[in-house]
Amino acid sequence: MSRLQFSIILKRVQNEVITAIREGGESVVKEAVKLVPLDLGDLQNSIQGDTSKSTLTGEKDNGMTYTIGSALPYAYVQHENLAFNHPSLKNRRKFNMIPNGRQAKYLEQPINELRDRIIDNINTAVKRGLNK
C-alpha cells in the first residue's frame, strides 16, 4: 500500500468517525434538553454541542471531540448539585410547587445511557471507512 493510498483510507475513516461522533453528541444534547432543570427555559435553550472546539491543551483535534455544555454561569451548579429540588408533578401537589420533573446530572445521565450505542456507532464508522 502506498503512502497516498493509506492517506486516502485514513481520511475516509476519519470522516466517518467524525460523523459518528457528531451524531452521538447530538443524541446526547437531544436527551439532555429533556432533563435539564426548567424555569424560564434559558438553561434548556443554552445546551449546545460542537465539534469545532479546541482540546483542553488549546490544540485543534480535527473534530474527534464533541463538546457539550452551556455557557450560562449557573449551568455547572444546576448540573452538579443533587440537593436542588426539581419537583415532579407528584411533588407539586404535595409541596404546591411548579412541576417540571427535571434533574441535576442532565448531561451525565444521557452520556451514560447512550455510551454503548455511540461506541458501537464509532466502531461501525471505522469499518465503513475501511471498506469504502
DSSP assignment of 36-81 equals S--SSSHHHHH-EEESSPPPTTS---TT---EEE--STTHHHHHH-
Higher pLDDT, 38 or 58: 38
pLDDT for the residue 106: 93
**CB 65, CB 55: distance < 8 Å:** yes
Contact residues for 111 (Cβ-Cβ < 8 A; gap 6+): 28
pLDDT band at 87 (very low <50, low <70, confident <90, very high): low
CA 67 from centre of chain:
7
Lowest mean pLDDT among 32-36, 40-44, 72-76, 91-95: 91-95
pLDDT for the residue 33: 92
pLDDT band at 117 (very low <50, low <70, confident <90, very high): very high
pLDDT for the residue 39: 77
Share of the chain above pLDDT 90, in %: 55
Instruction: Find the mean pLDDT for residues 26-38.
Output: 92
